Amino acid sequence: MATMTDDCCTSGQDGRSERYDLAVIGAGSAGFSAAITAAELGARVALIGHGTIGGTCVNVGCVPSKTLIRAAETLHQAATAARFAGIEAHARLTDWSATVAQKDQLVDALRRAKYRDLLAAYEGITYIEGRARLAADGVLVAGEPLPSGKVVIATGARPAMPSVPGIEEVSCLTSTTALAIEKLPRSLLVIGGGYIGCELAQLFARAGVAVTIVCRHRLLPESEPEIGAALAGYFECEGIEVHSGLEYRQIRKTGDGVILSARAEGGDLRLVAERVLIASGRRPNTEEMGLAEARVALRPSGGIEVDDRLRTTKAGVYAAGDVTGRDQFVYMAAYGARLAAENALDGDKRRYDNAAMPAVVFTDPQVASVGLTEAAARQAGHAVETSLLPLDQVPRALAARDTRGLIKLVADAETNRLLGAHILAPEGADSIQTAVLAIKHGLTVAELAETIFPYLTTVEGLKLAAQIFTKDIAKLSCCAG
């Protein structure tokens, strides 16, 4: 749960003596999804929150980060406008604190509109403020019993600290606090090459900060290697230092910053920066909830163990969202929580299915994927066939004079069915949904190649990538095939 305070939504004690059909612990995206679903089914719901209502996404995650990413993107667009002949543009950052304040205004407005003020629309939901703990008959809230038939745990996750010697002595920024700083540092060391590290590294670099990003493996280790390698190259073109495959030795503070000592394949490294940002993963919020006493098992990663119906190892208790430690995207949290509520109240009929789950990294170019990577498909026993389309073969990219990126498709060589799609493109996020639908409905790459796509769009690249399986697209005219 969030730890900040917000008094706007605190309810009184009058709802605690009642018995509820469902108690939802956590008032973020997953918690609200579960509560609204249950209320629509006619249940009496206790929605239990602690701290700022709304959870990670609206307060310290998706909304604020993407707002600031867009702001910094305008600076980059001006700097690269000269790629078009006869055009010159200039932009400069004049007041970062004003940019942050504008972001905060949007966060406040969405928190009220989509969370706090939404409660009044559902008579079946009672919002209760306080720390919750599992009990024999429902839950305890601030030590007081709140009887309920079933329970959904949706307490989310928080930034995790990596195991680097000396890190406890260093004042580190996290993905939460970094979005709130009103004065930019001169230099920034980003520890972590996952989606959060990549997004924030580019954001601050475009705002004028000298950024170095380090990681133990490679950038975006769960993505296709071609995508991580290409993105690393684009980062370096923007002046971002990228060091991968490191073994961290020590980090320590100095009079004017921090020093990270690490070992790389080429020898020892000593990296210096004014501030350090930790972006090495997130930790599920499972402490002080009585999970062990209730015999609710945890996964090795620290998330709550659930089955495909979102049931925990304790009867009547379900869990959804980031607290499970998997599929940590807000839309998957909301989807899972909806299923958990339905299953809790209606006989466990719904199965959690992430086979066609889209994932987006809001770097520039954007990374978007769905389905299996080539390696995962082979590991699953498929005979695999792939296609790789550089963006300089996509007319939209040529017209935009920005050919950074690629599209990779993964197919079953025996059935021709599309197994995975992976896009690195400036408009990749808005292009992936076509591949999501293709995988969801079992389309083959031949069927994708035969589908009509609008010309001069990035999503047309999916058609071209599908055509590569059987044709030389260099010998096709525009829109042919």
Q: Which residues are annotated as a binding site for NAD(+)?
A: 192-199, 281
Tokens of 99: 């940019």
Q: Which residues contact 94 (CB under 8 A, 6 or more apart)?
A: none
Residues in binding site: 66, 192-199, 281, 322
Tokens of 41: 């089914």
Residues in binding site for FAD: 66, 322
Other C-beta atoms closer than 10 Å to the C-beta of 49 total 29
Q: Using DSSP bridges, classify how beta strands 187-191 and 210-214 pair: parallel, antiparallel or unpaired.
A: parallel
Tokens of 224: 């296709």
Contacts 24+ apart (CB under 8 A), 76-83: 76/206, 76/238, 76/364, 80/402, 83/401, 83/402
56-to-29, 60, 196, 203, 282 alpha-carbon distances in Å: 8, 5, 13, 19, 11
The region, left, alpha or beta by phi > 0 then psi within -120 to 50, assigned to residue 337 is: alpha
318-to-152, 237, 313, 322, 369 alpha-carbon distances in Å: 5, 47, 9, 13, 28
Rounded CA separation 357/328 (Å): 11
Question: Which residues are 417's β-sheet partners?
Answer: 444
Cα-Cα-Cα-Cα dihedral sign, residues 451, 452, 456, 457: negative
Across 415-471, the runs of DSSP E, i.e. the strands, are 418-425
DSSP 304: B
Q: Which residue has the tokens 């082979």?
A: 378
Rounded CA separation 234/176 (Å): 26
Distance of CA 9 to the CA centre of its chain: 27
